[in-house]
A and B are shown apart, each in its own frame.
Chain A
Amino acid sequence: MIVAQRKKIPVLIDIINGHKNVLVLGCGTCVTVCLAGGEREVSMISSALRIASKKAGSVIKINELTIERQCDNVFIETAAEEIKKNDAVLSLGCGAGVQAIAERYPDKPVYAGLDTAFLGILESRGVWTEKCAQCGECVLADFGGICPVTRCAKHMLNGPCGGSREERCEINANQPCAWQLIYKRLKDIGELDKIKKIYPAKDWSKSLDGGSRTIIREDHRI
């Protein structure tokens, strides 16, 4: 899922400064699960914005609403009435959600209240880790389900680099050596011969490096 975290309150106050009525819009999907932009976070951030704006001497009316998802028209429509009543929207959705809202309501300023960070999973309670870099050409089948692009600091497809110490990465000792993990996993599932495969240089044009991407399914188009 998409993992994001909230921007600091002084940054948010700067962003919404000058408006009289702001809607803090939450999203009930990814950002709820990563505890960044769900209904509860909307309540917290709205309280914080009221306190901070009053402290600064400007009174901004902060309204609150959380919709199921900010990336689907069907759900965005449910926010139409509230959005109309406000001067601006502070969206606590991921980057995609913020932009979807902005597109549907082009006459309203729509701001992002979160820093969208990565695609990842909940590792343990309160800890999320990055798993997927959206490179556009998944190679997980050859690496026992552990992504060397995301989890190896050097993004090596033909690892290991040999620099790891006690199973920790030489670049960042806080992370395990991804190739150590890959080796263990391939051994456990009986596919260790895959580690001998030599990969040519990755075609990064399939990732964001090749430009903003679009996927079309002709069989679903009207």
Chain B
Amino acid sequence: MTDNNFEPKILVFCCHYCAYASADLAGSMRLQYPAGVRIIRTPCTGRLETEYYMKAIENGADGVLIAGCLEGGCHFIDGNLFAKRRANAVRDMLEECGIEKERLRMVNVSAAGAVNLVQFIFEMVDTVKQLGPNPIKALAVGSKQ
């Protein structure tokens, strides 16, 4: 089922204060990760609405990773806690839609956790490779309702 040439397209929502700083550090450290991984900066993971995750999958993303601050260390106190609850709710909804819930995952990293972030990214890429491409990708890409 898994095509060896399948390069998953993964969106990583990174909070500005921890995860994005961590991704920046990964860049400085010349840590490599697959090119299909795209980072989107957000002030806080708590800013992310559940609609964004649904839209990402609807528009063909193979996986979505939400990277926030360590619990207790959120710059906005509890933004990452809300993000966690929302991620869980969307995972349940994706299951109802017939999409594997493992395609959406939330992780927590510190600003210095570049190695951790890259490891999470690789884990996500591996998971999504196992699952295969987004089942609705063929109908989603390039199509607008």
A residues within 8 Å of B by Cβ? 8-10, 40, 43-44, 47-48, 50-52, 54-56, 59, 61-63
Contact = CB atoms under 8 A, between A and B. Distances in A.
Interface of B: 49-51, 54-55, 57-58, 93-94, 96-99, 135-136, 139-140, 145
A43 B145 contact: no
Contact of A55 (B50, B51, B136): B136
A50 B51 contact: no
* Secondary structure dominating the interface of A: helix
Contacts of A48: 54, 93, 96-97
Contacts of A9: 93, 96-97
B116 to A, nearest CB: 31
* Secondary structure dominating the interface of B: helix
A52 B57 CA distance: 11
A8 B50 CA distance: 17
16 contacts: A9-B97, A43-B51, A44-B50, A44-B54, A50-B145, A51-B54, A51-B58, A51-B94, A52-B96, A54-B135, A54-B139, A55-B97, A55-B98, A55-B136, A61-B145, A62-B145
B54 A47 contact: yes
A54 B50 CA distance: 20
The 3 A-B residue pairs with the shortest CB-CB distance, nearest first, are A47-B54, A9-B96, A54-B136
Contacts of A43: 51, 54
A9 B92 CA distance: 11
B52 to A, nearest CB: 10
Nearest to A6: B93
Contacts of B49: 40
Given A9-B97, A10-B96, A51 B57 contact: yes
